[in-house]
């Protein structure tokens, strides 16, 4: 807090006008359940608080500008801290918001039975731009009651939607895909606005997210059953595949669009209806996608969106017998709660949880394979190619072109620093064989140093802010823990001078597998380097974790690539490739990284029940 702010706050406290508890029956009261405190405290002020604020404003004590030479003054511009920038949005963000508003894509209400809906008690949550602290919009802070209505809408609509033909559902999904692509710029801007990732990366996410809707629009027509050869001549045996029913879709903030489409694409294609709960930090992209689903002709009630009090919404979804499946992407801790909570009504579950990806660089890694091999192996549409080129460009410097480690570095930059390190498949530990460890560390640090940090709307920025203060504090804690146990900071290792939640791209050496940074998901722009001696060591270190989502290895030895791929206890393995996600391949984890797969034909299996039908007495 500024000195002025401190004086004002002290005066207000002594006047008894700053209250931080609710007022129930005349008593100042904490939330009964501490876990709901965050959500409650972000909700709109109560009438009481509002009238206190009004009084303060009219008394002249409620000031939100600095005092310079006796004048109340806004920040002169540039990089502002949250408190200041809340005074007004930056011109850039304002322009984006205005354009989004006029395009009809800036939706700020929930969607229940095809109607845009406020929270029943009028509470709202602020959605902020992590790069500036600007409030982008207020969205409803919904809870159990709204969720139950959304479930009822989805349940009623299920009977008609599940009976539409696969061709009809396919057409709707294709139209939705076309609209998502037609609006990819605006959707990208929305993602940058509420999530912070650089605009080009955000547009790349739109293309990636939309690809699931396109893929499952095609797969809708291929949900084949089976005829089983009968063991008895008067019988005929069939297997039907039918939609599971109403699906509760709970998603995180790091990919505000793609984590939704990966689930909703196959759900709708198979005939299910959905209640989506996006993260309270990034609900606007979900609402814009829902708006486009309506424009695509997907009937009201098929797609419902509620947001707000996560626990209340989650509990309502878990308690309902009408919800037949929960599909969740997020932290392992919340995933475990949902798994336990699903037991009572024995729901189907898909869980995409946290990772702790090792990236193993062997002495024999080929210099050019990382990029060239990727071009051959990875199917990209124009936008994904755009994203890849962008990631590659980030690291293309004249120095690197002459460096023997350029391609490897590039690959790992994409693997490590995408979305400021906030992806579940980000390389969490970079294991480097001893023979090249020192050279690699210095070449890699040189490349990382070139990454430009800043507001995602600024051209050339490769790394945006972290999602919130808690995320920065977690990174700081991990870095400090590693330093205290003997690690060296080669680059970065502290908050960025831009302030807010920006953190310097960081490279750390001499990491071991006992440090917090190796044991847990960093979810920040920190690349820890761990030396290893032999292939066996690398495999042991890589598997020494409860997570099992993605792993990467770089080698030119084909036998080794097979051997190590098979030995890694991970659901996804990238060999000489750092960016492996695609709609046509199964995505999911071993161990505590989850259950089930998303994308590809396997992704559809998660949304269908298998029904065996036996026809008897089939003789004449």
Give the residues lining the site for ligand NAP (CB under 6 A): 250-255, 259, 277, 279-281, 310-311, 314, 329-331, 334, 337, 352-355, 424, 521, 549, 589, 594
Q: Which of 352, 400, 504, 520 is catalytic?
A: 352
Helices (H) and strands (E) in the chain, counts: 23, 24
**Both structure tokens of 574:** 């990238």
Q: Which residues contact 292 (CB under 8 A, 6 or more apart)?
A: 105, 176, 179, 180, 183
Distance CA 111, CA 95 (A): 26
Q: Which helix (H) or strand (E) holds 273?
A: strand 273-277
Q: Which is nearer to ligand NAP, 172 or 572 (CB)?
A: 572
Q: Which is nearer to ligand NAP, 225 or 586 (CB)?
A: 586
Least distance from ligand NAP to the Cβ atom of residue 427, Å: 13
For residue 351, the SS3 value is strand
Residue nearest to ligand NAP (CB): 314
Dihedral angle sign, alpha carbons of residues 535, 539, 544, 547? positive
Least distance from ligand NAP to the Cβ atom of residue 315, Å: 7
Least distance from ligand NAP to the Cβ atom of residue 124, Å: 14
Q: Which is nearer to ligand NAP, 312 or 535 (CB)?
A: 312
Least distance from ligand NAP to the Cβ atom of residue 492, Å: 22
The answer to whether 356 and 521 are in contact (CB under 8 A) is yes
The answer to whether 316 and 151 are in contact (CB under 8 A) is yes
Give the CA distances from residue 377 to residues 147, 218, 369, 373, 576, in Å, rounded to whole numbers and listed in that order: 43, 22, 11, 6, 10
Distance CA 84, CA 65 (A): 7
Q: Which helix (H) or strand (E) holds 549?
A: none
Q: Which is nearer to ligand NAP, 271 or 589 (CB)?
A: 589
The answer to whether 572 and 357 are in contact (CB under 8 A) is no
Q: Which is nearer to ligand NAP, 210 or 338 (CB)?
A: 338
Least distance from ligand NAP to the Cβ atom of residue 357, Å: 10
Note if 352 is an active site residue: yes
**Both structure tokens of 570:** 């991970």
Q: Which is nearer to ligand NAP, 532 or 590 (CB)?
A: 590
Q: What is the largest CA-CA distance in the chain?
A: 101
Least distance from ligand NAP to the Cβ atom of residue 364, Å: 31
Please give the torsion angle defined by the CA atoms of residues 480, 486, 487 and 489, in that order, rounded to the nearest 10 degrees: 70
Distance CA 277, CA 264 (A): 12
Least distance from ligand NAP to the Cβ atom of residue 603, Å: 12
Of the CA atoms within 13 Å of residue 566, those in its CB half-sphere come to 5
Distance CA 82, CA 97 (A): 18
How large is the C-alpha radius of gyration of the chain?
A: 26
Q: Which is nearer to ligand NAP, 198 or 354 (CB)?
A: 354
Q: Which is nearer to ligand NAP, 301 or 524 (CB)?
A: 524
Least distance from ligand NAP to the Cβ atom of residue 538, Å: 23
Q: Which residues contact 432 (CB under 8 A, 6 or more apart)?
A: 361, 440, 441, 529, 530, 531, 532
Which are the catalytic amino acids?
352
């Amino acid at each position: 807090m500024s000195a002025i702010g401190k004086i004002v706050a002290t005066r207000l406290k002594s006047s008894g006008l700053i209250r931080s508890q609710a007022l129930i029956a005349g008593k100042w009261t904490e939330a009964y359940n501490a876990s709901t405190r965050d959500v409650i405290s972000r909700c709109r002020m109560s009438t009481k608080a509002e009238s206190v604020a009004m009084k303060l404003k009219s008394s002249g004590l409620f000031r939100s500008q600095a005092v310079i030479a006796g004048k109340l003054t806004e920040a002169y511009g540039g990089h502002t801290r949250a408190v200041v920038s809340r005074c007004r949005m930056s011109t850039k963000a304002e322009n984006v918001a205005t354009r989004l508003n006029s395009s009809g894509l800036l939706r700020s209400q929930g969607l229940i039975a095809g109607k845009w809906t406020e929270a029943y008690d009028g509470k709202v949550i602020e959605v902020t731009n992590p790069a500036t602290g600007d409030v982008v919009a207020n969205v409803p802070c919904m809870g159990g009651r709204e969720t139950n209505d959304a479930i009822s809408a989805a349940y009623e609509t299920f009977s008609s939607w599940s009976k539409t033909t696969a061709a009809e559902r396919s057409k709707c999904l294709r139209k939705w895909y076309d609209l998502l692509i037609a609006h990819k710029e605006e959707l990208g801007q929305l993602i940058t606005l509420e999530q912070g990732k650089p605009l080009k990366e955000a547009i790349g996410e739109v293309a990636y997210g939309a690809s699931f809707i396109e893929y499952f629009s095609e797969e809708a027509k291929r949900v084949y059953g089976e005829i089983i050869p009968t063991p008895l001549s008067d019988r005929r045996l069939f297997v039907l595949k039918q939609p599971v029913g109403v699906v509760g879709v709970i998603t995180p903030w790091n990919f505000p669009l793609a984590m939704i489409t990966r689930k909703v694409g196959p759900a709708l294609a198979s005939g299910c209806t959905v209640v989506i709960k996006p993260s309270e930090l990034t609900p606007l992209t979900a609402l814009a996608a829902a708006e486009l689903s309506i424009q695509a002709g997907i009937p009201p009630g098929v797609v419902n969106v509620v947001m707000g009090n996560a626990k209340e919404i989650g509990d309502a979804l878990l308690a309902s017998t009408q919800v037949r499946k929960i599909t969740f992407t997020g932290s392992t801790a919340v995933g475990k709660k949902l798994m336990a909570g699903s037991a009572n009504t024995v729901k189907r579950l898909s869980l995409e949880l946290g990772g702790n990806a090792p990236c193993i660089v062997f002495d024999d890694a080929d210099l050019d394979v990382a990029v060239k091999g990727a071009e051959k192996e990875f199917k990209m549409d124009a936008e994904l190619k755009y994203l890849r080129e962008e990631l590659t460009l980030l690291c293309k410097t004249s120095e690197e072109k002459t460096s023997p480690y350029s391609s490897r570095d590039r690959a790992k930059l994409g693997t490590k620093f995408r979305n400021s390190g906030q992806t579940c498949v980000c390389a969490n530990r970079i294991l480097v064989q001893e023979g090249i460890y020192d050279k690699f560390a210095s070449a890699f640090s040189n490349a990382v140093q070139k990454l430009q940090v800043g507001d995602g709307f600024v051209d050339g920025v490769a790394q945006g802010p972290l999602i919130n203060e808690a995320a920065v504090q977690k990174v700081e804690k991990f870095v400090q823990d590693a330093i205290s146990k003997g690690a060296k900071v080669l680059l970065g290792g502290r908050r960025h001078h831009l302030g807010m939640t920006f953190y310097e791209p960081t490279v750390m050496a001499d990491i071991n597998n006992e440090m917090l940074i190796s044991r847990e998901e960093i979810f920040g722009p920190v690349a820890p380097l761990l030396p290893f001696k032999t292939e066996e060591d690398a495999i042991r270190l890589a598997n020494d974790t409860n997570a099992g989502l993605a792993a990467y290895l770089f080698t030119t030895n084909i036998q080794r690539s097979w051997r190590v791929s098979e030995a890694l206890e991970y659901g996804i393995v990238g060999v000489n490739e750092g960016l492996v996600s695609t709609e046509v391949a199964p995505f999911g984890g071993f161990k505590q990284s989850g259950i089930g797969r998303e994308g590809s034909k396997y992704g559809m299996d998660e949304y269908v029940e298998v029904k065996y039908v036996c026809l008897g007495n089939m003789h004449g």
